[in-house]
Structure 1
């Protein structure tokens, strides 16, 4: 599990940092906090769309879905919040 988390982190480091700063910003909307919590639950959950015991395919779903979900949330940030957190990537 730790190997999976470290690989995910290396792929989404910049976006994850921006998401972190957006979550800590006073103007962060509630939907952003909920979306981030759901992403964390998905990463930590033992239940996956494709089980990790399947060679390659089991990890690839996480490597694709998590970065896409983070990017999706960031693209929906209010413009002033996106601009305030963009320099923190």
Structure 2
């Protein structure tokens, strides 16, 4: 009996599963999740107001957990301002 084990989907430029990048997102993936333009994330990075990222060559990666923490900090900061 043969088990059907799903294999991870590969991005067009990938030749191996993304196991090493589990928990990390590309700039395009994060932009889609946040509903912002890829250029906006680049601008935020330049202004140092966006989520923390790692640059490897020309690619930029965001750790999902760090993005969630960044969003939480942003929420707290905005709530403090509105309570003044």
TM-score computed with the length of structure 2 as normaliser: 0.33
Q: Which has the larger strand fraction?
A: 2
In terms of Rg, which structure is larger? 2
Structure with the bigger percentage of helix: 1
